[in-house]
Structure 1
Amino acid sequence: MFTNWITAIKAHDDDVDTLTKLERSERMSKIRSKNTKPERLVRSALHKLGYRFRIHARNLPGAPDIVFPSRKQVIFIHGCFWHAHENCSVANLPKTRRPYWRKKFARNKERDATNVRALRKLGWRVFTIWECETSKPDKVAQRLSRRLGPPGKPSNA
């Protein structure tokens, strides 16, 4: 009886989607995980400020979006929706399949926290920029400058 209840809920969740499987697949295939618009905006701002960096370091936990090896600092640029940015208008919970999305966002947030802990344990300073913040490039540039210090080789390298 209990498994039938779970099956009924799961079937109901699957039926709520307003798109066909093909339409959903096409829409999801357009979502990028690398080189997103917010990422490109932040990288452009960093370059204009004179910073040089590496991108998508797969050898580090979470493959940070931007890495400053000589400064031992990394930047994650999180999409507000996918990383469930709290108190952000972009990070709305979808109206369909809510149990699925709650679990998905909880897993994403836990994975983010695990990656940050692992990086800090390895001695890295971690900085997160949210997608919604990139709509104000001047503010992002100021935050980056304060966080990273002057461009060029750091004096402690």
Structure 2
Amino acid sequence: MKNLRLLSFLFLLGACSSAEQEISPDYDSLILPHQPNILWLVAEDMSPTIAAYGDSTIHTPNLDRLFNEGVRYTHMFSVSGVCAPSRFSIATGIYTTRGGAQHMRTSSRPEYMEKIGVIPYEATPDPPVRMMSEVMRENGYYTTNRSKQDYQFKAPVTAWDEN
């Protein structure tokens, strides 16, 4: 009787383990999508005060996981000391001086600009220059911008799926 119980137990154990092997996906043969998933997070005035950059001031486990499993840029610098011109460069990939975007918000308050003797203007990227989000949309990505729309020029309607 003991042998029958042992034999039944071993049979059951073997059946369970073989069923598990059949259900488990073969990760070596998976076909991945041609395009990677991209989550581009931009934060102003954050500085490297998170654990992913070696600081322990702020506890950010979710950001840390994104940093550890994704791509982390450790040598990225702004081409401008203020936000809107920097956004211009991020959005277009060109230097602010090339597109006339090096000055801060040159068209947002014309009444003030005229008082100090500055003629309001918008940056004018060269015609072939398109926003990064437009290129991503053309390649099948969903793009959204939930804030900060000042690029020193009016973004085209094709810039974002949702804005």
TM (normalized to structure 2)? Answer: 0.26
- Using CA pairs below 8 Å that are at least 6 residues apart, which structure has the higher relative contact order? 1
Higher share of residues assigned helix? 1
TM (normalized to structure 1)? Answer: 0.27
Higher share of residues assigned strand? 1
Q: Whose radius of gyration is greater, 1 or 2?
A: 2
